[in-house]
Amino acid sequence: MNRSELVAALADRASVTRKDADAVLSALAGTVGDIVAKGDEKIIIPGFVSFERTHRAARTARNPQTGEPLQIPAGYGVKVSAGSRLKEAAKGK
């Protein structure tokens, strides 16, 4: 499902216009991005999903072509965890 199909499905389910559904989806993505960028809060939508900024330590890796060691600097990533209702939906229940 691409973005326009998701917007259409949201608009149908919520009985709103596609423009309004798209605005809400954009606002959600922007808000989640802003909070994750700050890194001081975990976003939880109970039963559905949670987002959390994580720290990755610096490490040494190897170039697969040459075998030469590379130094990968410390950085940040995002941990996304499925909630209970989403896990049950994936099981087909």
- Give dist(CA 32, CA 35) in Å, integer: 5
Which pLDDT does position 93 carry in this prediction? 67
Q: Token pair for residue 60?
A: 């040494």
Total-model pTM: 0.78
81 and 45 assigned to the same domain: yes
Which pLDDT does position 92 carry in this prediction? 87
26 and 45 assigned to the same domain: no
- Give dist(CA 82, CA 88) in Å, integer: 10
CB 78 within 8 A of CB 54: yes
Low-confidence ranges of the chain (pLDDT < 50): none
- Give dist(CA 25, CA 6) in Å, integer: 9
67 and 91 assigned to the same domain: yes
48 and 91 assigned to the same domain: yes
50 and 72 assigned to the same domain: yes
CB 61 within 8 A of CB 69: yes
